[in-house]
Chain A
Amino acid sequence: MSEHLAPYDSPRHRDETAIAGMWLFLASEILLFGGLFLIFVVYSHTRAAGWALGVRHTNLMIGGINTALLLTSSMAYTLGVDAARNENARGVILAGLSAAGLGVTFLCLKGWEWHTELADHLFPGPGFALGGPQAGGAQLFYSFYFLSTALHGLHMLVGIGLIGWICLRTYRGRSAPLIAMPVEVVGLYWSFVDLVWVLLFPVLYLIGRV
């Protein structure tokens, strides 16, 4: 009796329910990141000069490339959702693989960026590289930087895993009719991860740079 009766009237009812569930979960996620953004809102004002000093030391080049990668990835996946609605399994797999591939590239670049930053002693703590009167604010910035990119990276990992799962189940179920709902649910999540980055990018790389 491990699988209990499904409580849905029809496939449509089931799909609506799942999609509504994902939306609600994303509302919860917004508040998770919202708490983090409060750190930015407060400290970028109370410690403006030090915060800006930190922003100036981020790698705008990598940040920019990564933004482009992620936006493209999101677009690719959206094409996959479209393919799923047209019951085009090949399209779903192709779109999923490109979306996941772009995501992995993002993470590799991000990892490299972290690596250079750690080498430059930008991780807050005793050996912090930026001295002077603004060091405290800059450390707060880098606390925020590492935490928010780590949390976002974690969400990326989950998303890439989910997309992999979508590709796999689509590949395995080629012969059966394609159900678009799981593809759409994962798409909602992936767009959200993208959206978080779209907000993080200006906060980490742009605001206070000039």
Chain B
Amino acid sequence: MAPTSDPQTMQRSYLWQDGTLRSWLLTTDHKRIALLYMASITAFFVLGSLGAALIRLHLISPTGAILSDETYSRMFTMHGIVMVWLFLVPSIPVTLGNFLVPLMLGAPDLAFPRLNLISWYLFVMAGALVVYGLFRGGLETGWTFYTPLSTDYTQGRVLPVVAGVFLSGFSSIATGVNFIISIHQLRAPGLTWYRLPLMLWALYATSVIFVLATPVLSITLVLLAFEHVFHVGVFDPALGGDPLLFQHLFWFYSHPAVYIMILPGMGVVSEVVSTFCHKPVFGYRFVAWSSISIAAIGFLVWGHHMFVAGTSLYAAVVFSMLSFLVSVPSAIKVFNWLGTMHGGAIRLDAPMLYALGFIGLFTVGGLTGLFLASLASDVHLTQTYFVVAHFHYIMVGGMVSAYFAGLHYWWPKITGRMYPEMWGRTAAALLFFGFNLTFFPQFLLGYEGMPRRYATYPAQFQVLNVLSSAGASILALAYILPLIYFIWSLFRGARATANPWQATGLEWRTSSPPPTENFIEPPVVTHDAYDYAALDHPAPAPQAEPPHV
């Protein structure tokens, strides 16, 4: 057993070994970079949430309460762009992923530590460009930048924002390359592929999407900027181009990217569910390969965003069927988590509550995806609040819940302190309640035909809109609470032991917080992931066992 986090462990840990600002800004330690990222994406999350708050406040009244129509468009654009590219796409991979990949592999760092630091600087520059563009007027195109609105008709600041999103792509690619190569090259002795924690399978699949989808977005944005700056035809039909080509290119990235925004969450939930049921994940190999197949099939379904855009019926039918197919591996995961819980002694600590929230909300989001993937119902539902509710159930209900599950779960490892459990559970319950109150009415609104992206709406929709806005304020509280008690716990939280949850991963074998080199003794793996029997009844001298590969 590694020592508990007494003052000595703290002294030796990555957090305190060298406390100068310079050592933080030039660090190549993946754990510190994870914290740098965490600070940055938290700032962007706050910014994006302020946008959401203004949107919901505005929609309390059918005529729009506070913003002009023009400002409203700029507000939802800013909300979408900041949340997607500066928060959700990086979220779990760059924070928990950066922190955990080497620890879970039993390695001292990622394969390319300096590249990791560069990726953070790229991300910060990207964020600065986007924020500059947004505060110098913003833009009204929505997060999807559809042409020719974004190239020829916009009066907003397209160029800095697009340049920022472009740069952030390279930061994603760097992270993806780093994770994939690390998982291939840096596994500890005995850590075979089928012994990897499912979090790593999920991050591997995510990284494949980072590496193979992001460059397509990059080139699309270059083409967009070219058309915008020189007013020459690439996508603009008036200049001979084809606007559908933009949509194909954009969604070829952005559909896989929605899986960037869910796969890491699935990885976190697999870890949490297993730990708090004290049982191995049911059907490990199915869960592992379902991540890979989600990433693979995810590349083949982008056309479902263009059913009413004038693509051919045959293409639409094929894309519809493929979209149904991509939900199969997602369903496998949900059933396997349920199978894991079945008969387990479930502990309902905060991480588990968040994970349970994830499972429920993700299921609703996934099932409503099938409504949208069916051609006939999509014609009715597309461009309505139904779509908005669908993806918020997955991205906010799912991914953000998973991010919080992971933060609570690994907080003791990251900081050496426990968060206050009661407050954690309260926040998790508030989040579930507030989330549903915010977004469930939006399904009804969309079903009744309220279009998205309008600043005003017919009076008959007001009740549901007010409910939604009320929910949003509860949701805001559920996000502010952890911010407060996490910071509080840094100073006052109980000191954490090395393995406070009786979990099996390698990261729990080192002290909390870990030393700079991660492991004093390089670990050797002799068991499958989630082998609780071995954890509860350790062999007399585990180190003496020969490493087998």
A residues in contact (CB < 8 Å) with B: 1-7, 13, 16-18, 20-21, 24-25, 27-29, 31-36, 38-39, 42-43, 46-47, 50, 123-125, 136-137, 139-140, 143, 147, 151
Residue of A nearest to B219 (CB): A35
A7 touches B107 (CB 8 A): yes
> Would you call B177 and A25 a contact (CB within 8 A)?
yes
Complex contacts, A21 vs chain B, CB 8 Å? 111-112, 115, 177-178, 181
Tell me the interface secondary structure of chain B in the complex.
helix
Interface residues of B in 60-89 (CB under 8 A from A): none
| Chain B residues near A13 (CB-CB < 8 A) | 185
Please name all residues of chain A whose beta carbon is closer than 8 Å to the beta carbon of B142 when the two chains form the complex. none
Measured between beta carbons, the chain B residues less than 8 angstroms from A18 are: 112
Q: What are the 3 closest A-B residue pairs judged by CB atoms, nearest first? A: A136-B240, A35-B219, A32-B215
Chain A residues whose C-beta falls within 8 Å of the C-beta of B231 in the assembled complex: 125
- Output the nearest chain A residue to B241 by Cβ-Cβ distance: A140
Question: Do residues B232 and A139 form an inter-chain contact, with CB atoms below 8 A?
Answer: yes
A-B contact pairs, 20 of them (CB 8 A): A1-B23, A3-B28, A7-B182, A7-B186, A17-B111, A20-B185, A21-B181, A24-B211, A28-B176, A28-B211, A34-B219, A35-B215, A35-B249, A36-B223, A38-B248, A123-B232, A124-B233, A139-B232, A147-B223, A147-B226
Is the interface on chain B under 10, 10 to 19, 20 to 34, or 35 or more residues? Answer: 35 or more
Q: Does B516 contact A (CB under 8 A)?
A: yes
Given A1-B18, A4-B28, A140-B233: A28 and B226 within 8 A (CB)?
A: no
Cβ A5 vs Cβ B109 within 8 A? yes
Task: Given A2-B28, A147-B222, check contact A27 B212 (CB 8 Å).
Answer: yes
For B375, the chain A residues whose CB sits under 8 A away are none
Chain A residues with CB below 8 A from B211, complex form: 24-25, 27-28
Q: Does B104 contact A (CB under 8 A)?
A: no
B173, B184, B223: which contacts A28 (Cβ < 8 A)?
B173
- Residues of A near B30 (CB, < 8 A) are 4
A31 touches B213 (CB 8 A): yes
Assuming the A-B contacts A5-B108, A7-B102, are A36 and B177 also in contact, with contact meaning beta carbons closer than 8 angstroms in the complex?
A: no
* Minimum CB distance partner of B182 in chain A: A7
Q: Give the most central of A3, A137, A143: most B CB within 10 Å.
A: A143
Per-residue CB proximity of B99-122 to A under 8 Å, as 1/0? 000100001111111010000000
Interchain CB contact under 8 A, B112 and A4: no
Q: Does B330 contact A (CB under 8 A)?
A: no
Q: How far is the CB of B216 from chain A (nearest CB, A)?
A: 5
User: Within 8 Å CB of B219, what residues of A?
Assistant: 32-36
Is there contact, CB below 8 Å, between A17 and B181?
yes
Using CB atoms, name the residue of chain B closest to A136.
Answer: B240
